[in-house]
A and B are shown apart, each in its own frame.
Chain A
Amino acid sequence: MRRLLAGRLLQGLAVLWVVATLTFVLLHIAPGDPYSYQGDRRVAPEVVAHWRHVYCLDRPLAAQYACYLGSLARGDLGFSISQSRPVREILVDYVPRTLELMSLGLILSFAVGIALGVLEARHRGTFADWGSRGIALFFYSMPDFWLALMLALVFAYWLPIFPISGIENVIAAPTYSGWQRLADHLRHLVLPVTALVLMTCAAIARFQRAAMLDVIRLEFVVAARAKGVSESAITRHHVLRNALLPIITLAGLMLPMLLGGAVLVELVFSWPGMGFITAMAVGSRDYALVTSSVLVTSALVVAGTIAADLLYALADPRVRAK
């Protein structure tokens, strides 16, 4: 188990280095730098030259890369020029919001996806099976951006049930008590989380259904049924437990997809998280912020994948033995 963990960690570090380098190079070979666009206003050339010098932007690419790796090794993620503060401080503000959105999305996607998969497997071939799969496929096949926009249009604009965007009611929030504030925040989470769940739960449901159908045919299930165990007990205790293993793998694979979805959802619902800030940083060529955001996102995916591998090993003694 330790060797497995050590191996995965080493692989993860290598992936992060490649991601950091690729992001750095791609960003720097794109035309422009953080001072190439100052909106419609003009900043004196000497001021721009001063700041380019301060942030090493007037040096050759290799020197900038060395500068970047050196800072990274010291744990310094750099200074965001568009936000005018250290990147570390920005990440402290924005990463928890994305994690909140993503973890809620992940938990609910799996809860809904597994429940649908079980339902479809138990009632395979019936109207409930076809109906559930059809509806899930309908949402799954929709473009992420469009689905989020439709949710906003229907449930926040035409039927003003939920807030249209943001993380709180900006006017009333300062006057709320702790519980009111939490309730307000949860209301703001409903539409973005729903969008994430609708985008991903269909895939989980299909995986779960297939895994359930594979297990249902196995001999120990037939034996249990022959012993007179009820269908619901068979599903809960025998089929579902054994059909959950592939879902653990899927959880690791779902992380990048959810993070990608979260970027779009954050933009549509103005949820100030990593996607929101990264999109703005790309538009302003904020090198330090973009590279750090990508690095943190990659680290999250790597950590999720390692966690899924470990969980799989814990759940399956055959993997542990290998």
Chain B
Amino acid sequence: MTLPADADNLLPPLSTNETSGQVDAVLFEKLAEVGDSLNVVGDAGFRPSLADSWTWAPDSLSIAFHLDPKAHWQDGVPVRAADVVYSYRVNTSKDVGSSVGPLLAGIDSVTAADSVTAVFWFHARSLEQFLNAGTQIRVLPAHLLGNVPDSALKTAAFDRNPVGSGPYRFVRWVSGSTIEVVADSTYHRGRPKIDRIIWSIAANPDAAMLRLFSGEANFTEVLRKQDVAEIGKHPNLKAVHYPSMTVFYVRFNERSRGWHGPHPVLGDRDVRRALTMAIDRKRAVSTVFDSSAKLALGPFTSALSTYDPALPRIPYAPDSASAILERRGWVMGKDGIRHKGDVPLRFSLLVPGTSTQRQQMSVLLQDMLKQVGARLDLEHVDFPTMNDRMEKHDFDAAFEGMTIDATPSGIRQEWSTSAARAGGTSNTGYYSNPAFDALIDSAVAASNAKEAISQYRRAYTTLIADAPAIWLYEGNAVAGMGTNVHPAHMRADMWWAHLADWSIGDGPAAKGASVALAAGAH
């Protein structure tokens, strides 16, 4: 598999990039896995992983996970409940700073009832209790890491030479070049189908594509529009579409720069709605993606369990947009730009300079807004600059792409009033609506899935109507691979979730594979 970024750290609580996540997923296990339906409410659809069963307490304030007694670390030591206790502690340690930590806030403690039973105790009941306990933590070997101080984990030798309990064993990591794992024939859930997986690091997407086209790699996770066209010329390659959890939108900053009062243009809900009405999203998306991308309805994708295609949306209606702007006092000037007193209907949009598609689309948006008398200035910046300016609220609007997780309650971290007040990179446009906050709180606290979904959808409706952003499109995920590669279900949140179930059939292997197999036969 070729991809344009090296891993950063193979110790799951410390790994932050996607390459590390892919490698960790085959080396380390969670107690359970989210099912293919991506349901995250209760425990319906969840699959056993390191735990072979679980039991809820009658009051639902604790869950006991029974570990598969056959599960063992790759050095032969059995996996024990003490490993789960240790892993929870490490993930919540401030000295480690795991990104998973905040997701475990609802867990009071984890104890070992016996050597193969770990019990998670919760502060309160919630529909995502099981999700947080069973799937947020990758279990680590306490017998190998227990003596390492938390603050020293970042530099532990284990990080680059990990020992897990998953379907693959770690073989080697050549910095900037290769990470290799090999199938563990003693894996407690059965040997995986592919013998070896090698992540081959390319310096950029072009180099990654050339590796795929030249036969030096079997798989690459993302094809760009031009790559999809090119792949058709190679009979040994195929393009495979898979669902995505990335959504793209133009976020409005509802406060003035520096957050001193409302934004002179975008602080008005009606103006934001009018600007959204001015955008023919269908045409913009089909122009840039040749109709291969899906329109986004809100800050979620169609892969999410709470998605409803019937959610109301702000229509494309430029005449209505002009009428609303007129009504709000924005009068068309001689220069073709509307003004309200001395204030022109003008704002700037931060666009990542490295994203061709976002650049193309921003030009279309600029033209469409001009038709209703709004001037959009484009500012092309790199990602760190864009995030820095958003964090400092030094922007009017930003063309963002966000990968959401399968947890519907994650929307609170990004769009709630508390997220805006917390600062950082969340809710940088200061969208705030107490009605939305209350609906999300109700959804999270709901006692059953049906009620939760209903509350989430009402919250989505409120958010969409407030137009804190122009929702544009869902990520267009297309992987390139050899025709002999047979992927298992590619999940929207983690396409690599079922990597252990992938197989290689007949057909040309990657260059060098025949040599490697012949040598392996000896």
Contact = CB atoms under 8 A, between A and B. Distances in A.
20 contacts: A32-B388, A33-B384, A36-B388, A36-B391, A39-B18, A41-B16, A42-B402, A42-B413, A44-B424, A47-B102, A84-B9, A84-B16, A157-B210, A157-B213, A167-B177, A171-B515, A271-B203, A276-B176, A277-B176, A283-B384
A42 B426 contact: yes
A90 B384 contact: no
A219 interface: no
Interface in A27-64: 30-33, 36-51, 54
B388 A45 contact: no
Contact of B8 (A83, A165, A269): A83
B171 interface: yes
B383 A37 contact: yes
B216 interface: yes
A285 B383 CA distance: 10
Given A93-B176, A94-B176, A174 B203 contact: no
A33 to B, nearest CB: 7
B227 to A, nearest CB: 14
Interface in B87-128: 94, 97-99, 101-102
A30 B423 CA distance: 21
B211 A51 contact: no
Given A32-B388, A284-B384, A40 B246 contact: yes
Interface in A60-98: 79, 82-86, 90, 93-94
B516 A47 contact: no
Contacts of B15: 84
Interface in B213-236: 213-216
A156 B215 CA distance: 11
Contacts of B516: 171-172, 174-175
B69 interface: no
Interface string B399-441: 0011100000000011000000011111000000000000000
Given A47-B97, A171-B510, A84 B402 contact: no
Contacts of B213: 157
A38 B155 contact: no
> Which 6 A-B pairs rank lowest in CB-CB distance, beginning with the nearest?
A272-B176, A45-B424, A32-B384, A175-B519, A172-B512, A32-B388
Contacts of A268: 203, 207
Nearest to A40: B403
Contacts of A271: 203
A166 B154 contact: no
A21 B511 CA distance: 46
Contacts of B414: 42
Interface stretch (B194-202, B265-273, B461-469): B194-202
A171 B198 contact: yes
What's the interface size class on A, roughly? 35 or more
Interface in B356-393: 381-389, 391
Contact of B177 (A36, A170, A175): A170
B8 A84 contact: yes
Interface string B177-212: 110100000000000000010101111100100110
Interface of B: 5-6, 8-9, 14-18, 94, 97-99, 101-102, 154-155, 159-160, 171-172, 174-178, 180, 196, 198, 200-204, 207, 210-211, 213-216, 246, 381-389, 391, 401-403, 413-414, 422-426, 510-513, 515-516, 519-520
Given A32-B385, A32-B387, A94-B175, A267 B402 contact: no
Contacts of A165: 202-203, 207, 210-211, 216
Given A36-B388, A41-B403, A166 B177 contact: yes
Given A167-B177, A173-B512, A174-B516, 13 more contacts: A31-B389, A39-B18, A42-B426, A47-B101, A160-B214, A166-B177, A166-B178, A167-B174, A168-B178, A170-B200, A172-B512, A175-B515, A267-B207
A272 B201 contact: yes
B102 A44 contact: yes
A48 B97 CA distance: 8
A171 B176 contact: no
Given A37-B383, A170-B512, A31 B203 contact: no
Given A267-B203, A283-B382, A272 B423 contact: no
B102 A279 contact: no
Nearest to A44: B102
B3 to A, nearest CB: 11
Interface in A227-283: 266-273, 276-277, 279-280, 283
Contacts, number: 185
A222 to B, nearest CB: 54
A39 B99 CA distance: 13
A270 B389 CA distance: 31
Contacts of A283: 382-384
A163 interface: yes
B42 to A, nearest CB: 25
Nearest to B196: A171
A40 B214 contact: no
A37 B401 contact: no
A267 B384 contact: no
A168 B178 CA distance: 9
A24 to B, nearest CB: 17
A169 interface: yes
Given A42-B425, A47-B101, A175-B519, A272 B175 contact: yes
Nearest to A163: B216
Contact of B172 (A163, A167, A174): A174
A114 interface: no
A152 interface: yes
Contact of B160 (A42, A50, A85): A85
Contacts of A51: 97
Contacts of A93: 175-176
A43 B16 CA distance: 9
Given A93-B175, A94-B176, A164-B214, A45 B423 contact: yes
Contact of B180 (A38, A85, A174): A174
A83 B451 CA distance: 44
Contacts of B9: 84-85
Interface string A93-118: 11000000000000000000000000
A86 B175 CA distance: 13
A168 B171 CA distance: 16
B204 A267 contact: yes
B435 to A, nearest CB: 23
Given A42-B413, A93-B176, A175-B516, A47 B98 contact: yes
A22 to B, nearest CB: 20
Nearest to B402: A40
A163 B362 CA distance: 39
Nearest to A85: B155
Contacts of A267: 203-204, 207
Nearest to A41: B403
Contacts of B5: 280
Given A44-B99, A285-B384, A82 B214 contact: no
Given A47-B99, A50-B97, A272-B201, A31 B18 contact: no
B102 A31 contact: no
A49 B6 CA distance: 25
Given A47-B97, A152-B210, A37 B384 contact: yes
A271 B202 CA distance: 8
B105 to A, nearest CB: 10
Contacts of A85: 9, 154-155, 159-160
B99 A43 contact: yes
Given A32-B387, A47-B99, A156 B210 contact: yes
